[in-house]
Structure 1
Amino acid sequence: MVSNKFKKLLLASPLLVAASAANAGYDIKISDEDKISFGGYIKVDARYVDGNVGYKPFWIGSGTKLAEDASQFNIFANETRFNMKYTHGEVMGFIEMDFWGGEGNQIVSNSAHPRIRHAFIKYKDVLAGQTWSTFMNTSAIPESADFAGATQGLVFIRQGQVRYTMGDFQFSLENPETWGGDTANDSVPDVVARYNLKGDWGSVSFSALGRQLNTNSGESETAIGGSIAGRIKTIGKDDFRFQFHQGEVGRYVGVGFTKDINTDTAGVEKVEDTTAYLAAYRHYWTETLRSTVLYGSAEADYSGAESSQWSVNLFENLTKQLAVGVEVGQYRQDNLDADSNYAQVTMKYVL
């Protein structure tokens, strides 16, 4: 009789052949209750940046103003990612990694480190582990060559959490972190509540965030913020994506845009208040050729930080899994009176 371990090996062996042939997504059935899925994509980018905001492989909510304009060109594949999903009845485990872990050596090998993106377990309506915050609506992220596109206008955060879903309502307790404050006393989890509306017209989410933040002077402050985000179908395959965030949202919005607690020159600490938004329209010229034009902006009341980004792109699917695209745009650090223009060409193969 063939052992269970040997059966699994026989069932898994076709994966090696399929992977070498670069076919789309893989599902391997181990038994009636057990299945392993493999996925991800390979993405190659050529990026040119010119201006007085320092080069970044993708724009985030903050930047460095240079003493004078500079130009830089890079080719990289760090956004490439790989994921695995394990399913056993009503239990599902998911893990994903990409290569933004740093330490890439451009002199010889460009050996960028892998990093964990997602690692969570889901059982029925309960999810536990690291994944996108419940405060975040991933369907409202626009298609762009620049990773995520206008990140200062997005809720964009992955962290440890326990989430309960009941129909269209979601509630989670998430990892606390007082950026700019006393993290040693972060003893109360962040709380997120979200309601989702879905229909033939698209989807919209309404989210609320509540946190306890700790200042360096030993004070505890309550922080509250809200978000509305969605994707609305328009004409044909076109869609409009939007996000609006307001309140004491700190590190949840803008990918490093502003701290939760900011300190002025007099040493006074205050919970930052942020207003951020993003609007993007995607138009299909043909069944496979499409463009997205987008604009995102964020402002912080206390620190005075202000940044914005616009871009326009063109993507074409050469096959069902392979897409190529080109994008041009501008990133601004408005409070620093600094900006850089960029152009990016990308090729993406979805596994």
Structure 2
Amino acid sequence: MFNKKKLLLATGLLAMAGSASAGYEIKLSDNDTITFGGYLKLDARYVDGNINSITNDYWVGAGTVGDISRTSFRATESRINTKYVHGDVTGFIEMDLHGGGGNEIVSNSSNPRLRHAFIKYKNILVGQTWSTFVNTSALAEAADFGGTLNASAFIRQGQVRYTQGNFQVSVENPESDKGDPSQDSMPDVIAKYTFKGDWGNVSVAGLARQLNTVGGNSESAFGYGIAGKINTVGKDDFRFQFHGGETGRYVGVVAARDLVGEEVEETTSFSVAYRHFWSDDVRSTAFFGKTTTEVADSDRRHWGVNIFKNYTKELSFGFEVGNFESADQNADSDYVQFSAKYVL
């Protein structure tokens, strides 16, 4: 029996090497399957202006002000994942190459980075994955990784989540960004309800946290979010997000921080994106996102327009032009980006 399973796995791996389907599932037994997936992606990017994102690769709502004229080629968004299903139990792990650690002189090597690692049993999920606060369907399709990251709910972390129908509630990893995380003894609590139908989906989420300042104070923080994807004409769709309150690190990556000194930051963020299909294999998205804060008085914006073409079901090429801006610093940069993506 053991040799039979080994032969089946080897046969599946050989089929993976010569196949181009989206995801490769290997049936180990009547109750056990293992699936391999991910994609390979190259991004060629040129940025010109007077602010550079702190990642160098995509805009996260903050950067260094100063002249920039930079061309880069990178494949670090590429990722691999594995899913193992045994009856009611699912295990999933995914890694990409945004971990850094390489250099551009010789090898352009890059360290693997954990994205997801979770176990799901019936209605319970434990592990690291997208925060319950996030509605991934509301993210814009973009060549620039994630699109309007400066104004989107975009966070993955360890959590325990319970799902009942369209309702989800979770306790998640606490972190007092720009505060004293050594005193973070209370987990973040998040609840979300998603309305779904043939028309698309809209989610309403709320979060409650305890933040600890560097001065030794404990502050309560509450935030909310409304996000969704609405189907419009044909295959087109409209995606949106609106967030308010003390959302801090949950929205905009580093466009807003949890704490500014001893004060909890108050944030307002919104993003919109419209995707239009010119044909079955050609599509474009126009997007815009903005985050403003009260305490730090920051104003971070990003817009872009792109076009993608699928040459096969798995292979696509894209081109995007856009601008990201720190209006409060009177700084902005234009960018153009080309991408090639092959989905496993």
For Structure 1 versus Structure 2, the TM-score category normalised by the shorter chain is over 0.9
Q: In the alignment, which of 4, 12, 37 is matched to residue 7 of structure 1?
A: 4
Q: Secondary structure at the match of 2:255?
A: coil
Shift of 1:22: 4.8
State which of 189, 207, 213 in structure 1 corresponds to 2:211. Answer: 213
2:15 corresponds to which residue? 18
Alpha-carbon distance between aligned partners in 2 of 1:118 and 1:176, rounded to the nearest angstrom: 18
C-alpha displacement of 1:230:
0.2
Give the corresponding residue for 1:57.
57
- Number of aligned residues: 341
Matched to 1:17, the amino acid is L
Deviation at 1:94, TM superposition (A): 0.2
**Per-residue deviation, 1:113:** 0.4
Cα distance in 2, alignment partners of residues 57 and 157 from structure 1: 18
| C-alpha distance in 2 between matches for 1:18 and 1:327 | 35
Q: Distance in 2 between matches of 1:257 and 1:295?
A: 15
**Does 228-237 or 211-220 show the bigger shift?**
211-220
Matches within 5 A, 1:296-307: 296-307=289-300
Q: Deviation digits for residues 190-249 of structure 1, max 9, x if unmatched?
A: 000000100011000000000011111211111000000000000000000000000000
Residue number among 301, 313, 323 corresponding to 1:308 in the alignment: 301
Once the two structures are TM-superposed, the CA of residue 14 in structure 1 deviates from its matched residue by 2.2
Letter in 2 for 1:122: K
SS of the residue aligned with 1:101? coil
Q: Deviations over 1:243-278 (max 9, x none)?
A: 000000001010111221102xxxxx1000000010
Deviation at 1:18, TM superposition (A): 2.7
What are the within-5 Å matches in structure 2 for residues 145-160 of structure 1?
145-160=143-158
Match for 1:350: what amino acid?
V
Aligned position for 2:167 = 169
Secondary structure of 2:15's aligned partner: helix
TM-score (norm 1): 0.96
Partner in structure 1 of residue 237 of structure 2: 239
Note the C-alpha offset of 1:61.
Answer: 1.5
Moved over 4 A (4+): none
Aligned pairs for 1:1-351 within 5 A: 3-4=1-2, 6-24=3-21, 25-54=23-52, 56-66=56-66, 69-263=67-261, 269-351=262-344
Measure the CA separation in 1 of the matches of 2:152 and 2:338: 23
Cα distance in 2 for partners of 1:199, 1:16 equals 38
Question: Any unmatched runs of 5+ in structure 1?
Answer: 264-268
- Superposition RMSD on alpha carbons, in Å? 0.9
Structure 2 segments unaligned to the other structure (5+ residues): none
CA–CA distance in structure 2, aligned partners of residues 293 and 118 of structure 1: 28
Letter in 1 for 2:91: G
Distance, in Å, in 1 between the alignment partners of 2:304 and 2:252 is 17
Alignment correspondent of 1:266: none
> Separation in 1 of the partners of 2:71 and 2:175?
35
Distance 2:158 2:112 in 1: 19
Separation in 2, partners of 1:52, 1:240: 32
- Match for 2:265: what amino acid? E
Partner amino acid, structure 2, of 1:162? V
- The percent of aligned pairs where both chains have the same amino acid is 55
